[in-house]
Amino acid sequence: MSEFNPTMQLAYDYLESTNTVVFLTGKAGTGKTTFLQQIRKQLPKKLAVVAPTGVAAINAGGMTIHSLFQLPFGPLVPGGIEQPELHYNVEKKGLLASLELLIVDEISMVRPDVLDHIDLILRNIKGSAYPFGGVQLLLIGDLSQLSPVIREEEWSILRPYYTTPYFFSSLVLQKTPYVRIELEHVYRQKEQAFVDILNEVRNQQVSAENLSLLNARYIPDFRPTTVDNYITLTTHNGIAQKINQELLEALAGQEYEFSATISGEFPKDAYPTDTGLKLKIGSQVMFVKNDGSAEKRYYNGKIGKVTNIAGSTVFVQCGEDDHEIVVEAVEWTNVKYELEGEAIAETKAGSFAQVPLKLAWAITIHKSQGLSFDQAIIDVSEAFTHGQAYVALSRCRSLSGMVLRNPIMAANIIGDPAVARFNEQAKALQPDQSRLNHDRERYQLFLLTELFNLSELKTLLQSFEGLLPDLQKEVTEVAEKFVRQLKSERSQQAASYFLEKLRLAIEDLYRQLPELIGTSKDIAAKADRLMVWLMNRVRLMEAFSIQPFSTNTYLTLVQSSLKTHERSFLIALSAPVNEKLFLQFIEWREKRAVMEKVMPNMVLTEKTLKVIAERLPATLKALGSMKGVGTQKATLYGAELIGMIRTFQQVQSGTGMEQGQLF
């Protein structure tokens, strides 16, 4: 990956060629978020992204941990529930059974009991004794930033089991080999003197000289000019709201209110801005989303001033930019993960549409995490918890762009000794090439075990009473015994045995498919999933019945199984209204995925394409309103899709191409 620096490349190599748990850390501004975005685009593993809070989940483009794993919000006592996944439906179990990589963003805010519960759930669902059931975890975050929110009564319940409230105290990580990779090159700040100050604040060891240099930015009674774009970062939400309300009311002129449109599931704690956003001309605002257009006119955290308001459109001038930015409502998506075949697809659970702005004379330090500012007024005189001062100061790109509302005292820089101890001890977890090679060998042994781990087959068969009865005794039970006594030299012989049994199962299932599919759409979908699983596992057994097992061959075969169309004969049995058009969409999606270097389901899911083939939307507006598409994807792909629809209709009707508008 040429765009990665050497440390990022090491992290990518670990994710690509091992299943070792990786804790990716680094100072603010070292590119952790950028790395996450690249991983989502480039890594071929089946992955899901989660975060501890709604806002963090939306920013990371994933789900909250509690939503994906359906966890209660209270303390989760280890050993309290042996099978917390019992209430999951078959689809949820199938999704988690297919998971290869779980990315947890803002890991510094995750409690240890939550991580232990995830471990228990994944081990149960995967039918594996490996930590997290063999699923690789990428834990991203900086322990010097915000810590877990845990009340005293909750900690009194968890204290007997954990030495600290941080994720690294989880029982699973106490017994699991993992690596800590630290990104060190700072991209946000360019001044070495400022970087040095931030490093000392991060380590709670600020020298008198650097504290004096920092406090030189204290300017009593500072009032920014109307052309400046300063934002105040403060410790308490009430203070930020008071500043914003007072300054909005002080502006002359009409007040305009913009109402958000919310549909489906979108948690209130994840709302990116106000549902009733009040603005006046002259309001200082901050963009709360990156511009999804090719022009990239704005980014999350960019500050500007409202220069005009016309209907539903807001005009914003940012600093000395030559042109105003024309701003209209955009959509945020609350993601859910669903299993389609053997691929994990992102689907839209809900949406929040609003002008992507919020009043920005002031925000809380907590809400500033992950953002960067050119000009900021900082007040940490009332800092009350670990990491607040560091988060606030590190949001600034330069020392000269920072103004302190009150001088900073050493007492304002609050740290946690437990974090300092862990950071010092964890230096031994930084891997080198030798450790990477060792972990690659461990991964190969794990994948060999996975080849003969047929527990997912048992889960899939639960939906069908009496279906394929011989599989339980002749396949799944034998596989469980073989895995317990796994010997690599016997793997080819074992693959040949299971190959024969699975081929017979496919023949038997194929004879029963018409009857199963006629039962209900739900049963048809489950039969489709079972058949896909069997065919992909047969392909693996075929390969390793004639050659020794290797990691590269296994991973290549697994990835190719996601791109084949062997589901097409099942599609024919439960064909959508316009099967030929649907198959054209599938072929088009493959080409787009190659062009964009993404997994096909990141273009549009198979489920969504089926609906499009059935409904035949005639305009971009109609296409964009469909579940799983949305305005952004309709803009990107609409012309091609509607073009294919019209050509299909022309062939079907035998008439000339209808002339019409896309909009």
Tell me which of 460 and 133 has the higher pLDDT. Answer: 133
Per-residue pLDDT at 566? 41
DSSP string for residues in 212-267: HHHHTTB-TT----TT---EEEES-HHHHHHHHHHHHHHS-S--EEEE-EEEES--
pLDDT band at 347 (very low <50, low <70, confident <90, very high): confident
Per-residue pLDDT at 55? 63
User: What CA–CA distance (Å, rounded) separates 104 from 40?
Assistant: 13
The tokens for 569 are 């004969």
pLDDT reading at 174 higher than 90: yes
pLDDT band at 562 (very low <50, low <70, confident <90, very high): low
Residue type for position 271? Y
pLDDT band at 298 (very low <50, low <70, confident <90, very high): confident
- Return the sign of the alpha-carbon dihedral for residues 224, 228, 232, 238: positive
Mean pLDDT of the chain: 84
Per-residue pLDDT at 226? 65
Only one residue has tokens 């990107």, namely 636
Per-residue pLDDT at 343? 60
* Cα–Cα nearest to 103, from 172, 39, 42: 39
Taking CA atoms, 396 is separated from 249, 320, 399, 544, 572, in Å, by: 28, 19, 7, 55, 58
pLDDT reading at 64 higher than 70: yes
pLDDT reading at 313 higher than 80: yes
- The CA-based diameter of the chain, rounded to the nearest angstrom, is 84
User: What CA–CA distance (Å, rounded) separates 15 from 45?
Assistant: 9
Cβ(49)–Cβ(36) below 8 Å: yes
Residue type for position 552? N
Tell me which of 562 and 453 has the higher pLDDT. Answer: 453
Torsion of CA 341, 346, 348, 352, to 10 degrees: 180
pLDDT reading at 655 higher than 70: no
> Residue ranges of the alpha helices (H) in 31-89?
32-42, 54-60, 65-69
Which of these ranges, 546-560, 575-589, 607-621, has the smallest mean pLDDT? 575-589
Mean pLDDT of 44-65: 81
CB atoms within 10 A of CB 613: 24
Mean pLDDT of 411-434: 87
Encode 409-430 in three state secondary structure: CHHHCCCCHHHHHHHHHHHHHC
Taking CA atoms, 621 is separated from 163, 329, 333, 614, in Å, by: 55, 15, 18, 17
Beta pairing partners, 103: 49, 138
This prediction's pTM: 0.66
Tell me which of 344 and 455 has the higher pLDDT. Answer: 455
Over residues 110-122, the pLDDT tens digits come to 999 999 999 999 9
Which of these ranges, 383-387, 545-549, 635-639, has the smallest mean pLDDT? 383-387
> Residue ranges of the alpha helices (H) in 99-206?
112-126, 152-158, 171-174, 192-202
Mean pLDDT of 49-66: 79
Residue type for position 302? K
Which of these ranges, 31-40, 52-61, 89-98, 256-265, has the smallest mean pLDDT? 52-61
pLDDT band at 42 (very low <50, low <70, confident <90, very high): confident
Per-residue pLDDT at 402? 93
User: What CA–CA distance (Å, rounded) separates 344 from 40?
Assistant: 12
Per-residue pLDDT at 27? 80
Per-residue pLDDT at 404? 94
Which of these ranges, 135-139, 363-367, 557-561, has the smallest mean pLDDT? 557-561
pLDDT reading at 662 higher than 50: no
Per-residue pLDDT at 341? 56
pLDDT reading at 128 higher than 80: yes
* Cα–Cα nearest to 574, from 531, 623, 535: 531
CB atoms within 10 A of CB 494: 21
Per-residue pLDDT at 344? 60
User: What CA–CA distance (Å, rounded) separates 34 from 12?
Assistant: 13
Q: Is residue 547 exposed (0-12), middle (13-18) or buried (19+ Cβ within 10 Å)?
A: exposed
User: What CA–CA distance (Å, rounded) separates 280 from 270?
Assistant: 25
* Cα–Cα nearest to 134, from 107, 101, 167, 181: 101
Sheet of 261-264, strand order: 261-264, 343-354, 330-340
The tokens for 65 are 């941990």
Over residues 315-337, the pLDDT tens digits come to 999 877 778 999 999 998 887 76
The tokens for 53 are 């809070």
pLDDT reading at 361 higher than 60: yes
Per-residue pLDDT at 14? 96
Mean pLDDT of 69-75: 85
Mean pLDDT of 345-371: 85
Which of these ranges, 245-254, 469-478, 578-587, has the smallest mean pLDDT? 469-478
Q: What percent of the chain has pLDDT over 70?
A: 91
User: What CA–CA distance (Å, rounded) separates 576 from 609?
Assistant: 10
pLDDT reading at 472 higher than 60: yes
Taking the mean position of all CA atoms in its chain, how far away is CA 6? 24
pLDDT reading at 569 higher than 70: no
Mean pLDDT of 17-32: 89
| 272 secondary structure, DSSP code | S
Per-residue pLDDT at 517? 66
Per-residue pLDDT at 565? 40
Cβ(18)–Cβ(33) below 8 Å: no
pLDDT reading at 658 higher than 50: no
User: What CA–CA distance (Å, rounded) separates 106 from 49?
Assistant: 11
Tell me which of 454 and 313 has the higher pLDDT. Answer: 313
Cβ(35)–Cβ(24) below 8 Å: yes
Which of these ranges, 32-36, 55-59, 156-160, has the smallest mean pLDDT? 55-59
Only one residue has tokens 């549009």, namely 604
Per-residue pLDDT at 567? 43
Mean pLDDT of 24-37: 86
Cβ(71)–Cβ(114) below 8 Å: yes
Over residues 191-221, the pLDDT tens digits come to 888 888 888 888 888 898 999 999 999 999 8
CB atoms within 10 A of CB 162: 19
| 109 secondary structure, DSSP code | G
Per-residue pLDDT at 173? 95
CB atoms within 10 A of CB 298: 23
Helix, strand, coil % (nearest 5) of the chain? 50, 15, 35
Strand pairing report for 313-317 and 325-327: antiparallel
pLDDT band at 30 (very low <50, low <70, confident <90, very high): confident
